Structure 1
Amino acid sequence: MPEAAEPIAGPAPIRVLLADDQALIRVGFRLVIEAEPDMILVGEASDGLEAVDEVRRTAPDVVVMDVRMPRLDGIGATAEIVRTAPETRVLVLTTFDLDEYAFGAIQAGASGFLLKDAQRAELTAAIRAVRRGDAVLSPRVTRRLLEHVALPAPEVPAPGAASPVAPRTDPASGLTERERDVYLAVARGLSNAEIAAELFLAESTVKTHVGRVLAKLGARDRVHAVILAHRLGHVAPGDDPTPPP
């Protein structure tokens, strides 16, 4: 008899860790995640310190992180996870879309921002997006985030006075023409798939370009790249960085 063909292994499931001090919230999210064929729940945490420990123990792909927790809040936990486990992405959860704590967590290195009352499809789509390396920010949240992280206007020396500091170099000046196209698309909040469609490129090619862009900019992730684009004036202040849904 001919030997049975070995089954072809599919992509590994997305490993998710839940961090929230409200047990009922964790139960709801757990049921959603466990129902997804491409996700697996690897752990839960009820505060920031526990979340950091669980990340070390389970090495998740994505942490769904509440920001207001006892002992160590989501800002501190996110900063520690980004420092010690850079391959793990953090998706911030909050009750209000203008939560100062959530902005702090994003500045600490979180890859996305999601409201706790998000629909099931929104949560799962957000987890998949940050796992791919995409950012998850709504236009209104991104505008508010940019207001919080905007740099002060540079000082202009008096006529004839020497400038106290060297002029700031534009980190985007080293990008190739194609990389700049990709960079500006990232700054507008487009995903890799959307950039591929817009620029008529393969998605794998876009992913390579995005990696090079982030490296040349010295950007931690796509959220950081969006912030840089606005700080450096590469995106018009009146433009929405992300397209409407």
Structure 2
Amino acid sequence: MTEFAADGKNAGVVLPAMRVSYEGTSLDVSDLADTWTEQLQRWLDEAVAAGVPEPNAMVLATADDEGRPSSRTVLCKGLSERGIAFYTNYTSAKSHHLSGVRYASVTFPWYGLHRQVNLRGEVEKVDAAETAEYWASRPRGSQLGAWASPQSGVVPDRRNLENALQVVERRFADTDEIPPPPHWGGWRIRPETVEFWQGRENRMHDRLRYVRHDGEWRIERLAP
């Protein structure tokens, strides 16, 4: 549906009228795996099989010391019982937030499947050995980019970035294995809650949440 202004010109889409009917399958406690890690891996596999673009993309929410929130998309690069991991520049805005307020939330938004998963919990840095292992798996171009970019820093123009990349390319031209920068590494979110959300008709969605309490996990249902 499109709205028109008084002069007859297209005023854009009428946002209140935009609506998608969710007709997903049901999600009950009996459908869940024993652990949140198994359930998340199951849904990740199904997102891959369904052809969801960048199925490991997740929206990371952080806050600064004054409680001002910020969000951006990052890629999940680790999943284990310890939590989920992503990698970034430790001088970036997100890393400054995480160093100060050591708590974060991420959401996997699988719109095409009418699903999302939200995790919240404390954060910790990934150790150097694990970071090095992941770094070695990255394409050379991505490694060079990590050295060249002052992530979240203000730069005068695109040419400045391209020049920085050229400098790094010359620096490592004769190096087969580029080392990770000292200012680069991983963050791990150790979740306290993990919610699995399945869209249902009439907005009566299924929301099931794993909650950690005194070292044990329990499952509870939330109202949509």
What TM-score comes out, normalization by structure 2 length?
0.24
Q: Which has the higher contact order (CA 8 A, sep 6+)?
A: 2
Pick the structure with greater CA Rg.
Answer: 2
Q: Higher helix share goes to which structure?
A: 1
Looking at secondary structure, tell me which structure has more strand per residue. Answer: 2
